[in-house]
Structure 1
Amino acid sequence: MKYEIIKRNVVPDAETEKIIARKIEKIEKLLESFNEDLFFLRINFNEIKKRKRFNVRLMMQILGRHLRVKKEGPDLPAVTIEAFEALIREIKKFKEFLRNEPEFRRKIRPSYKEKINKAQLKQEVQEAFEKYVEEIMPRLYSFALKEVRNRIYQGQLRQGDIQVKDVLDEAIVRVSDMIKNETEFKEKEVKKELYRHIIRIINKWTKERRSQLSILDKTIPPEEIDNELYEFYQPDDILHVEDVIPDTVETPEDEVEEEELQKSIDQVISMMPDKWRQAFRLIELEGFSPDEVAMIQDRSVEEVKKEVEMARAFIAEKMEDLGLEWLER
């Protein structure tokens, strides 16, 4: 975790320095599920000489939010402990609040099958649409789940804010409404519209929830996201480790090492801006052309091509930082 110490009229003694190190380690353990680049701690020490007192202020930036603590007293080590413990209590307290008192309640919606039956599609079109949706559902689910989990990882959402099933139901219903007057089923167009609406719905619901979160002074993400963050990646549609390094897995130790590498690669993709990540996945993993992605994302073809190249460069740079070479497929 990155941090900065600001000293004004005082130089912390050895005891205070040890306290800072211990408390920072404790905070890092509380936040170990997340990318450390998303956190920053500012520690401000000030001696009020006229009053012979020390002032310790802590400001913790967490995923774009801020926690602030201010303590004052005659003994610097004691005040430092008091300030850090207050900050740690705030982190724990707010985590507990988020776990037990979710602000956003899931809306109960009819399933897409119920709504399709009411959409009055022509029978042949409805049958073809339902069959296609069932065939493509695993890929739609994987794509939507990755997008939601990425928003959680980046701090845009809390766990449970958006249910993937609701996203898919809404997207499928919207597309069924679009094709209700069609006399034939157009698979390619339907596929593009499904992905387009999945992205639109996630963007819209994320914006709504962030707007509601803005009324809160502080926001701490729920615990235990790290393991769940990577469990949804499916072996047939991700950037595989074998695309980056040769397949050398021979022992259980090698398998563990490869799993760790895979998590690193997945995390690199998760760190990209939303539009880069979406365009990259749609082209590299879902098989869309730049023209189709431009339609899905409501942007120009030139923008899509440029950002996919930027995404590739970003991945290559991060792979180099990891000591790996990314071999494009």
Structure 2
Amino acid sequence: MTVAPAHFVKKRQARSYGMKVIRAFRNLDRHGQQRAPEVIEEEVRQLEPHLVRFREDLVRLEVVASQTSGKTRIQVSLRLQLPSGVIAAQEEGFVIEPVLRKAFADLRQRVDRHVARLKHESEYKRPARRRRIGAPLPSARNAAEADRRELFFDLIEDHLDTVYDTVRRELTYLECSGSVPAGYLSVGDIVDATILNGLNRFERRPTEFSVRDWLTQLVFETVEAEAQAARRAVPEDAASIYEAPEAPGGEPTESDEEMFEFYQPDDVLLLEEIVADEGGDDPEAAVAKRQEALAFHRAIAGLPAFWRRALFLVDLNETPLETVSSVLGIPQDDVTRIVQSARDYIRDKLRDSGQSSDTAHALFESAHQRRLRIPQPLRDRARLERAFLGDNGGEAP
């Protein structure tokens, strides 16, 4: 058997046990290439009973197993596409079989929680998705209220990209770490909730730091509240996944399709989207740098949320310590201690993944200089403008 060259990516699409399975092996050694397909087949068979409630032609599993060229560490990523959302799992280690089995075990647990929520739909499904900001803002009652909204929008308009970027980054890290169910929270919904919180507290906003920092503080508060609610969403008495379905599977009913539409995420939040593209003419070097950057951001996702926010403000956003202290509501000495602990944690995680201390330092510098900022979509921006300014805001593109 010929060993694949370092840059070779092996892909195969097959119908296995009813679901569509796509496998990709990158730089695996001879043992990994031989053993991985067998383990995947075994694990897919174990996964199948957890998916009996879904039509098999609507289920797609992607398995990526990669090994850094010249090194022994292995990383496995699983991505399960369901009609009701996307579930992902990831694991790292040095031997292909236990790494694959741990990743699949984690995936099965996540599927169980997801199905438990679906089976208890009536207990936690909202009558309708959180209404967009254009709906809960009725016409201004009088000229004073209209002037107030216009003043507030003028205050925040230049910072809408910051709100959107911060919300998307926070939700991406929370989903990557498994702190909230994938796809349960919507970026647009959290942006709307943040801005409505700001409108309600407009006259009571702090004056010791900027509007941008105030909005960032509101994002952190809103995301934390919604994340806590999401973690409480699965009832403790949820039915077992091993119970037989009430009826044999068939074509989706109208209510099924409505439920699938409800649970389908507005956005699939991928860690890759918040990693800046280093560019360059050497494809292999670019891929290696991107893998290093992904390892860096996975380490950030593993931080406690409070640590991650402090690190982001101090190291990546260059926010003064005094302001960070006010935004997070803790003393400056605590900010310094938390940020240093976060740096040490990330460096340890990078060393565990085979990166040198010099690489860790370079990743910090690169993240500081080239952090990718995701702007708010123009349609959302136009919707917000109409909600606050009425017909004068123009039409959505």
Of the three residues 249, 266, 273, the one matched with 1:232 is 273
Matched with 1:287 is 318
Q: Deviations over 1:194-219 (max 9, x none)?
A: 11121111111111221221423679
Whether 2:342 is the aligned partner of 1:299: answer no
CA distances 1:282-322 after superposition (whole Å, capped 9, x unpaired): 22223322232222223232222111111111222233343
Contiguous gaps of at least 5 residues in structure 1 = 1-18, 38-42, 44-59, 68-90, 242-246
Note the aligned Cα RMSD (angstroms).
Answer: 4.5
1:23 aligns with 2:42: yes
Distance 1:194 1:258, change over 3 A: same
Whole-angstrom distance in 1 between the partners of 2:198 and 2:285: 45
User: Scaled by the length of structure 1, what TM-score is found?
Assistant: 0.60
How far apart, CA to CA, are the structure 2 residues paired with 1:152 and 1:100? 22
What does residue 133 of structure 2 align with? 110
Contact 1:319 1:326 in 2 (8 A): no
Structure 2 segments unaligned to the other structure (5+ residues): 1-37, 48-61, 65-76, 79-87, 93-97, 99-103, 242-262, 366-397
Q: Compared with structure 1, are the counterparts of its residues 282 and 294 closer, same or farther at alpha carbon in structure 2 (3 Å cutoff)?
A: same
Alpha carbons of structure 1 residues 145 and 306: separation in structure 2 relative to 1, 3 Å: same
For 1:310 and 1:181, locate their aligned partners in 2 and report how far apart those are by CA, in whole Å.
33
Cα gap change, 1:92/1:312 in structure 2, threshold over 3 Å: closer, same or farther?
closer
TM value normalised by structure 2: 0.51
Q: Specify the code of the residue in structure 2 equivalent to 1:272.
A: L
- Corresponding letter in the other structure for 1:232: E
After superposition, the Cα gap between the structure-2 partners of 1:107 and 1:118, relative to the gap in structure 1 and judged at 3 Å, is farther
**Identity percentage of aligned residues:** 16
**1:20-39 CA deviation, whole Å, 9 max, x = no partner?**
896358769496242327xx
Cα gap change, 1:252 to 1:134, in 2 (>3 Å): same
* Equivalent runs, 1:159-308 vs 2, <5 Å: 159-180=182-203, 188-215=209-236, 216=238, 228-233=269-274, 235=276, 249-308=280-339
Q: Relative to 1, partners in 2 of residues 1:272 and 1:189: Cα closer, same or farther, differing over 3 Å?
A: same
Three-state SS of the structure 2 residue aligned to 1:34 is strand
Secondary structure in 2 matching 1:259: helix
CA distance in 2, matches of 1:111, 1:223: 22
Query: Cα 1:101–1:128, aligned 2, differ >3 Å: closer, same or farther?
Result: same
Name the CA distance, whole Å, in 2 between partners of 1:257 and 1:111.
Answer: 44
Q: Point out the structure with max Rg over C-alpha.
A: 1
In the alignment, the residues of structure 1 paired with residue 229 and residue 90 of structure 2 have an alpha-carbon distance, to the nearest angstrom, of 24
Deviation at 1:110, TM superposition (A): 2.8
Give the number of aligned pairs: 251
Aligned to 2:11: none
Aligned equivalents of 1:94 and 1:138: distance in 2? 33
